[in-house]
Amino acid sequence: MSGGSGQGTQQHFLVAGGGIGGLSAALALARAGQRVTVLEKAAALGEIGAGIQLGPNAFHAFDYLGVGEAARAIAVYVDKLRLMDAATGEDITSIDLGDGFRKRFGNPYAVVHRGDLHGVLLSACSAHPQIELRVKSQVLDYEQDGSSVTVRLASGERVTGSALIGADGLWSAVRKQVVGDGAPRVSGHSTYRSVIPTEQMPEDLRWNAATLWAGPKCHIVHYPLSGWKVFNLVVTYHNDAPEPVAGKSVPMDEVMRGFEHIHERAQQIIRHGNDWKLWVLCDREPVSNWIDGRVTLLGDAAHPTLQYMAQGACMAMEDGVCLGQMMINFPDNIEKALAAYQSRRVLRTARVQLQSRAIGEHIYHADGVHAQLRNTIMRAKTSADWYESLAWLYGNTALSENSMAAAA
């Protein structure tokens, strides 16, 4: 990976959306020598929600973006990914994230606060002279003439650049025009999130692990966050919820309803939660085309996924890195750079989208014989087996010299 700037004429990229994906793209493009204007709909740049898990591939991306040290400073390094049976309260298996894991993948596995992660990217963007960050700038649509793209903002203002990156999330306005595949698919899975002070977490469960309790049609995730001050709780119930919901406050009784059938040891975790917020999860079918002329998509706008592989933000950052590198490879040819970006990203991100759904069905929400089979298969795996099966995702293959080379 070169990470250096391209030699061609400087282009002006418009990036719709200032989330983790949009800021990663802005940083990567600016480091590739381009000028960037980020157009964010909200009145302030920030992130809603608490924790986020980051695989080693996120750290490969941080290093490329020049924020590796800052990102490492905000992380909690968990020792294990621990899988529990929520129906029986027993251990199923765990993946060791220690030295063997780090050596194999070249980087650690960590959990961070979303706001802290966004803050690291935001400070780097704010400090970069070639990046302009604009808030209250909702992109409605775009038009293009072969050499430039003009976006229309909700304010009525028009902004013109050489290309447009739609990093405007699950409900992307840019995707509506590029792909036009309607509303996202409602998964029917309800996710409730809470953050509790560490002293409220049952003492025997204060593990330095990203722990997942898999139960019939439901699962619970918890891990320590913010220097062990709090635990992040994310609990999901497959209740065939029909409508998308994002961040609605709900009472504890409603949350408990989905978990009455699981073991007391797992149930008690939920009772410690408070101020629960509900999301009804959505994703989309993978599509092969993210490009319209000088416009492309990135992050959740391109490949929204269920969170079951904890990879949505990691993929958004990788997208940004890849886009920047393609502008280094093809500095005078935006169309070629966008095509090269797309061809390197579509199958990898589709794999995450499809595998996340499969994991939900066969691992996280299995019941009866299905669950027994899961436990038997997973208990038979060694650390070496796990590392092998995760190599496609966590290894640096997606951002390596070879896969980022101009001709690859």
Ligand X SMILES: Cc1cc2nc3c(=O)[nH]c(=O)nc-3n(C[C@H](O)[C@H](O)[C@H](O)COP(=O)(O)OP(=O)(O)OC[C@H]3O[C@@H](n4cnc5c(N)ncnc54)[C@H](O)[C@@H]3O)c2cc1C
Nearest to 357 by CA among 302, 311, 398: 311
Binding mask 133-152 for ligand X (x = CB under 6 A): -----xx-------------
Place of tokens 């050499």: 147
The answer to the question of residue 97 lying near ligand X (CB under 6 A) is no
Binding of residue 173 to ligand X (CB under 6 A):
yes
Residue 267 or residue 311: which is nearer to ligand X going by CB?
Answer: 311
CA gap 255, 399 in Å, rounded: 40
Closest CA to 18 of 166, 153, 174: 166
How far apart are CB 203 and ligand X at their closest, in Å? 25
Contacts of 405 (CB under 8 A, 6+ apart): 329
Tokens 């509506």 identify what position?
176
Site for ligand X contains 84 (CB under 6 A): no
- Residues 77, 108: contact at Cβ < 8 Å? yes
Which of 262, 266, 310, 327 binds ligand X (CB under 6 A)? It is: 310
**Contact with ligand X (CB under 6 A) among 314, 322, 323, 398:** 314
By the rule CB under 6 A, 307 interacts with ligand X: yes
Instruction: Work out which of 6, 11, 12, 22 binds ligand X, going by CB under 6 A.
Output: 22
Least CB distance from residue 169 to ligand X, whole Å?
Answer: 3
What beta strand segments (E) does 337-402 contain? none
Measuring CA to CA, how many Å separate 331 from each of 3, 123, 234, 335?
13, 26, 43, 10
x/- letters, 187..206, toward ligand X (CB under 6 A): ----x---------------
User: Rule CB under 6 A: is residue 33 a binding residue for ligand X?
Assistant: no
| Contact residue for ligand X among 232, 311, 329, 375 (CB under 6 A) | 311
Convert residues 351-370 into a mask of x (bound to ligand X by CB under 6 A) and - (unbound): --------------------
Q: Which is nearer to ligand X, 327 or 393 (CB)?
A: 393
Q: Does 318 bind ligand X (CB under 6 A)?
A: no
Helix (H, G, I), strand (E, B) or coil at 139: strand
Residue 300 interacting with ligand X (CB under 6 A): yes
DSSP percent split of the chain into helix, strand, coil, nearest 5? 40, 25, 35
42 binds ligand X (CB under 6 A): yes
Strands 12-16 and 163-166: parallel
SS3 assignment, position 191: strand
Evaluate the CA torsion angle 347, 352, 353, 356 in order and state its sign.
positive
Instruction: Return residues touching ligand X (CB under 6 A).
Output: 16-22, 39-42, 52-53, 138-139, 167-170, 173, 191, 234, 279, 299-300, 307, 310-314, 316
